[in-house]
Amino acid sequence: MQVPFLIFDISSGELILILLVALILFGPKQIPAIARSIGKGINELRKASDQIKNEVMQESEKINSQITSDVIIENNRGNKELINKTEEESIKPPENPLPPAG
């Protein structure tokens, strides 16, 4: 499990100092409510981050799907043109027919 205060590069001594200052400023009765509020705020930030991440992934999948579809359509057009050209060349008579044998 990742410890949230490591994100801010706070050592354990600094964390204890911050908690002592909070205890002096807010008193022991308000600290649990403040901690809950901070926890809820962090949770909301995580939810928002996950939601943004999911939206970006969905949009990138849509774009990737569209690009793939466009490539397939373009390849099919090229294949059809090649088939038509091959059919035309196989149907037309040879340019220099050989004289009859004999």
25-62 tens-digit pLDDT: 888 888 889 889 989 999 999 999 999 999 999 999 99
Residue whose token pair is 């004999």: 102
54-102 tens-digit pLDDT: 999 999 999 988 888 888 888 888 888 888 888 777 777 767 777 777 6
Q: Give the ranges where the chain is alpha helix by DSSP (H).
A: 12-91
Q: In which region does residue 74 sit, left (phi positive, over 0), alpha (psi from -120 to 50) or beta (all else)?
A: alpha
Residue whose token pair is 């059809």: 80
Contact 5, 15 (CB under 8 A): yes
* This prediction's pTM: 0.49
